[in-house]
Copies of this chain bind each other. A is one copy, B any other.
Amino acid sequence: MGTASKALSLLNYFSRAQSQIGLSDLARLSGMNKATVYRLMGELADHGFVEQVGAGREYRLGPAFLRLAALREKAVPMRELALAELTKLSELTGETSHMSLLNGEVLSNLAYSYAHKHGTMVMMEDAEVLELHSTGSGLAVLAFSPAPFVDAVLNKPLVVRTPETVTDPEAIRALLPKIREHGMARSVGGYEQDVYSHAVPIFDAGSNCIGAIAVAAPVSRMTDELRSTIQTELALAARRTTRVLGGFPPDSFPKINPTDSPVESELT
């Protein structure tokens, strides 16, 4: 691994849960020598990628990301475009919709939209991390990812989120062909209890799966009619999103056909 990669990988230890990390902790987490971490963090700090805070001299992510994110968004308005699609999708379905991008072996949330139709909503946050095995979006991504990647993900210990979380690699693997066939994944309560989620993968210009767009509704509100609406609108929105981001679904991806019956319940 190159030095630059080591420096960059240090940034991955910052999360919503742990936004400040001390030198020794960071050395422990990364397995690198304290002196190495010290030097690398110093370089990151010089460029504003991290900053040291207060007395404990702990590190946290720096302001440079705001600038670079704005530049990225100016060059490739992914978030803006996704948000436009999500807003429509939430209006049409009356439920929370969100888009997340594959980052390593997890998804991180890029954007979301609430419908303000009901008193209760599935909540969502930017940069929230979604696991591949326990979420609808994750399953959608797994189903359209290369086999070695799927193996790598499923061979690691799979965290139990709720009593409904499926953690048997083979059971998960068995879901994928159907998801591929329908172009849509579903997860009921696997990540958060009482959340019924549909998800469709999003592809880049090389037809690689880069993330997913999903609609999440409370289980208690799910009816055949809502399910049908979600499945129809989600498939359309995802297709538009892929196209508007400059991507193409792979040839194997099922075409949308208005006469198709909605995805059957055996998807779960």
A93-116 near B? 1/0 per residue, CB < 8 Å: 000000001010000111000000
Q: Which residue of B lies closest to A19 (CB)?
A: B75
| Beta-carbon contact of A65 and B65 below 8 Å | yes
Q: Which residue of B lies closest to A61 (CB)?
A: B72
Judged by a CB distance under 8 angstroms, whether A118 is at the interface is: no
| Beta-carbon contact of B3 and A49 below 8 Å | no
> Which residues 1-43 of A have a CB within 8 angstroms of B?
2-9, 11, 14-16, 19-20, 39-40, 43
Judged by a CB distance under 8 angstroms, whether A262 is at the interface is: no
Most buried by B among A4, A44, A68, A205: A4
The 8 A-B pairs with the shortest beta carbon distances in the complex, nearest first, are A69-B69, A70-B127, A19-B75, A4-B7, A3-B3, A61-B72, A70-B126, A65-B69
Pairs A–B under 8 Å by Cβ, sample size 30: A2-B39, A2-B40, A3-B4, A4-B40, A5-B43, A5-B46, A5-B47, A7-B8, A14-B68, A14-B71, A14-B75, A15-B71, A16-B71, A19-B71, A48-B103, A60-B75, A60-B76, A61-B75, A63-B72, A63-B78, A63-B101, A66-B69, A66-B73, A66-B78, A66-B101, A67-B101, A68-B69, A69-B69, A70-B108, A70-B127
Which of B4, B20, B101, B125 contacts A44 (CB under 8 A)? B4
Judged by a CB distance under 8 angstroms, whether A57 is at the interface is: no
Cα A61 to Cα B125 with chains together (Å) = 23
Residues of B within 8 A of A182 (CB): none
